[in-house]
Amino acid sequence: MEQLNWTVECVAFVIMIGLSVVVGLYYGCVQGKQNTISEYLLGGRHMAVLPITMSLITSQLSGISLLGIPSEVYSYGTQYLIFTIDYVICSYIIIYIYLPVFYELQSVSVFEYLELRFDSKIRGFLSIIYAISVILHVPVVIYVPAMAFSYVTGLNLYYFTLIICGICIFYTTIGGLKAVVWTDAIQSFFTAVSIIIVIVLGLIRIGGFNNMITANQESDRIEFFRMDLDPFLRNTFWTSGIGMSFTLISHMAIHASSVQRFVALPTFNEARKSLIFFAFGMGVIKLFSGMTGLLIYATYKDCDPTLANYIDNDKHIVPFYIVDVASKIPGTTGLFIAGVVSAALSSMSAQLNTLSGTIYEDLIVKTMNVKPSDLTASIIIKFTVVVIGVICTFLVYMIEKMNGIIQVSISLNSVTIGAVISVFTLGITFPRANSRGVMYGMLSSIVIMVWIVSGAQIAMYNGELKFVKKNVSIAGCPDNVHFRNHSEFSGLYRMNADVYVNPNVNKIFTLSYMHYNTIGTIIALVVGIVVSLMFPTEQNIDPKLLAPCIRKCMYLKNSTKTKCEANKTEEYQLVSQNTKL
C-alpha cells in the first residue's frame, strides 16, 4: 500500500470544512435574519425544493451508512439491499396519509400534533424519548467517521472529534435551518463525488463490472429473493423488506428533522416533490454503497484483509480499501474522508437544529408556561444547540472506550421506533384511539423491545450468539502473512443457516434484528387499539388531525347516519378543517 501525501489529501477536507463555516457566518451575520423562531427553525418557510431535498438526503445519511453498508454486503451478501424497493411503497403511504396532516399543521415541533390529538402528557413523553434517542445516536454518528479518519491518517481520534463537533455546533448555532440546509447541500456534493470516484476506481482495479458480478456470484453474495419465512434467519426477503419499511416510515414520515424540512417549503406540492426526490436519492445512494461492498470483495476475494491481519475487524474494511485503491491518485482519499465526514456533519447538524426546537417548544415553554419574545426564544434555542452539542461531543469519548456500544446504540433506535410510529399512526388513522390506549401501547412496546434487544446484545457480547458470514479466502495472500483464526463456534449449536447460539439463550433473543421495528410497532398498535376500545372516551377531534382518507370515511358515515335520522334527501359537504367533529 502506497504512502499518502497528506498535504494534498487534506485539501478537499479543508475546503468542505471551510465552506461549512462560511455558510454559517453568512446566514448568521451577513443576512442577520435568524432572530425569530420561524427563521431559525423553518427558514422563514421559503426554502426551495432542491436544497431541502439534498438536506434531507444528507441528514439521513451518516458514516454508519457509507461505511456500514459496504461492510454488511462484504460479510453477509446483498439480501439487505432489497429494502430499497420499500422507498417506493413508503413514499406512496406517506404522501397520502402522514404528510398532508403534518404539512397542514405547520408546526415547529412535530410533537405538537400529539397534544392536539391526545394530550400534553403524550407529547411530553414522546419528546423526552426523542431527545434521549438523539443524544445517544449523534455520538455514534460522529464516532464512526472519526474512527475511519483516525485509522486512515493516524491522527488522534479525540482531537478530530473535538474539532469537527465544534465546527458543526458553530454553524448550526449561528445560521439556523438555512445554514444547516445549505451546508447539507454542499456536503452532499462531497459525499456523492466520493462515492462515485470510489466505485469508478474500484471497477478499474478489478477489470470492470462483469468481473465484479462474477466474483460475487461465485461466492453466493448476490441474493435478493431468499424467500424463507423463518424470522430467526438474519437476512431474508421478508426480514429486510418488511422490517425496513417501518424504519423508512419512521425516518421519512414522522422523524422530527424530516417533517421540519417539509414544513419549511412554501407549498404542499413542493413538499411532495421533495419527498419523492428524497426517496429516490436515498435508494440510489444505498445501492451505490452496496456496490462498494461488492467491489471490496471482488478486490480481496483471494486474501481477506481481516484474516490476513491487515485490519482488526470488518469495521475497518472500507477505509482500508479506500487507501489501497485510491492512493495512486492524489486527493482521492482525502475526498472520500471529506464525504464521510460530510455525511456525519449533516446528520449531527440536522439533529441539533431539530432537537433544539423540540426541547424549546415541548419542554421549556410547557414547563415555564410562558411565551418568550422571538429574540429571547432564539437565544434559548441557540444556547440549547450548544449544550446538546457539547454533551454529544463528550459522549463520543465514552463510546470509544466501551466495547459493543455502537451495536447497542443502533439497537436503541429499534427500541423506540415501534412506539413512535404507533402513536402517530393511531392518531392519524384511528379516530377512536385515545391517550390511555396510545400510552399503554407505547410503554408495552418499549418494555418488550428493551428486553429483546438487551438480551440479544448481552448474548452477542458473551459470545453466546454468533452469525455465519459469507466465505472468504486467504489462498492469494503473501507467504509472510500471519493469519488470524476463523470465528470459533465451540459450545454453540447451529440453530439455522445463519445463527450459532448457546442452548441456554432464550430463542426470542435470536430473532432477526430486522424484525425489531416490526415487532415493536405491532405490539404498540395492538395494545393501543384494544385499550382504546376497552376504555373509550369522548373526543372532539379536529378533522385536520386525521389523514384525508379517514376524513372522507367519517364524512360518509356521518352523512349516512344523518340522512337516515332525518329520512330526507339532503346535500352534504365535507367538514371544514376548522370544525370540531
Read off the pLDDT of each residue in 427-449 and give the average, rounded to a whole number: 92
Q: Return the pLDDT at 580.
A: 35
Q: What is the pLDDT of residue 210?
A: 92
pLDDT band at 176; cut points 50, 70, 90: low
Confidence of residue 481 (pLDDT cuts 50, 70, 90): confident
> Which grid coordinates are listed for 307?
484474516
Longest dimension (CA), the chain: 94
- What pLDDT does residue 568 have? 41
pLDDT given for residue 47 in this prediction = 63
Please state whether the predicted TM-score (pTM) of the whole model is above 0.75: yes
Looking at residue 95, what is its pLDDT? Answer: 92
- Top-confidence residue, 164 or 217: 217
User: Predicted confidence band at 125 (pLDDT cuts at 50, 70, 90)?
Assistant: confident
pLDDT > 90 fraction of the chain, expressed in percent and rounded: 14
Q: Which residue has the higher pLDDT, 553 or 501?
A: 501
For the chain, the C-alpha Rg in angstroms (whole number) is 25
C-alpha cell at 186: 454542499
Q: Which of 169, 139, 159 is nearest to 63 (CA)?
A: 139
Residue given cell 340522512 in the structure block: 563
Distance (Å, whole) CA 523 – CA 516: 11
Q: For position 555, what pLDDT does the model report?
A: 58
Residue 504 in this model has a pLDDT that exceeds 80: yes
Pull the grid cell for residue 113: 400534533
Residue 457 CA to residue 137 CA, distance in Å, equals 17
pLDDT at site 436: 93
Q: Cell numbers 433506535 correspond to what residue?
A: 413
Give bridge partners of residue 127 from the DSSP assignment: none
Residue 563 has pLDDT above 60, yes or no: no
pLDDT band at 444 (very low <50, low <70, confident <90, very high): very high
The mean predicted confidence, pLDDT, of the chain is 78
List of residues 6+ apart from 529 with CB closer than 8 A: 426, 430, 433, 437, 441
pLDDT-based confidence at residue 298 (cuts at 50, 70, 90):
very high
Q: For residues 473-485, give the mean pLDDT.
A: 77
At 341 the pLDDT is 74
Least confident range from 170-174, 261-265, 381-385: namely 170-174
Distance CA 348, CA 342 (A): 10
Measuring CA to CA, how many Å separate 86 from each of 94, 245, 294, 386, 512? 12, 6, 22, 36, 18
Instruction: Dump pLDDT digits (tens) for 27-83.
Output: 555 554 544 444 444 444 556 777 778 777 776 776 677 778 888 888 888 998 888
Average pLDDT over residues 486-514: 85
Q: What pLDDT, on the 0 to 100 scale, is given for residue 135? A: 79
The confidence score (pLDDT) of residue 457 equals: 82
Phi and psi dihedrals of 465, rounded to 5? -140, 115
448-462 mean pLDDT: 87
Lowest mean pLDDT among 103-107, 317-321, 398-402, 564-568: 564-568
Run of H or E residues at 439: helix 435-461
In the predicted model, is pLDDT for residue 340 greater than 90? no
Distance CA 438, CA 75 (A): 39
The DSSP code sequence of 372-392 is --HHHHHHHHHHHHHHHHHHH
Residue 562 is predicted with a pLDDT of 47
Read off the pLDDT band of 564 (50, 70, 90): very low
Q: How far apart are CA 134 and CA 355, in angstroms?
A: 8
User: In this predicted model, which residue has the larger pLDDT, 279 or 396?
Assistant: 279
Supply 200's cell numbers.
469508478
Pick the range with the lowest mean pLDDT from 74-83, 102-111, 240-249, 477-486.
477-486
